[in-house]
Homo-oligomer: A and B are copies of this chain.
Amino acid sequence: MEDTKETDIPDSIRGEFEEKGGIVGIMESLPDDQTIEDIVSVARALSDPVRVRVLFALSVQPMCVCLLVAMTGYAYSKMSYHLSVLKEGGLVCARQEGNYLIYYPTDLGRRVALWIG
């Protein structure tokens, strides 16, 4: 005669835990998969110091890649890679001007830069 095997719940949280509907209730209150993926892609864009600096710099002043390269000393291909990750995260975008690509923060990028700064 054995009970169904369930996880023990420590006394100090059992009450509030069950009020919240237990595991099922808590899982249902979590954001949906798409929202989670969006958060992760923004977080991933900010998870490297190069990219955080670039986002802040662009928030001060939109710039072409050559200026970012001059400012940081990194290779073009490296800067280009990091800009692409920031773009995937929806934090920056670019407009073409003649030969130049001028990168600048999106609205989201601006809000994020303000908030984390």
| Chain A residues proximal to chain B, CB less than 8 Å | 6-10, 12-13, 16-17, 20, 23, 26-27, 29-31, 33, 36-37, 39-40, 42-49, 52-53, 56-57, 60-64, 66-67, 69-71, 97-98, 100, 102, 115-117
Contacts and interface: CB of A to CB of B under 8 A. Distances in A.
Nearest 9 pairs of A and B residues by beta carbon = A43-B46, A43-B47, A7-B70, A44-B47, A10-B100, A47-B47, A43-B43, A23-B71, A36-B49
A31 B49 contact: no
A97 B36 contact: no
B97 A57 contact: no
Contacts of A44: 43, 47
Count of this chain's copies in the oligomeric assembly: 2
A85 B11 CA distance: 27
Interface of A is mostly: helix
18 contacts: A10-B102, A13-B61, A13-B62, A17-B61, A20-B60, A23-B70, A26-B61, A31-B56, A31-B117, A33-B49, A39-B52, A40-B47, A42-B116, A43-B46, A43-B47, A43-B52, A47-B47, A115-B115
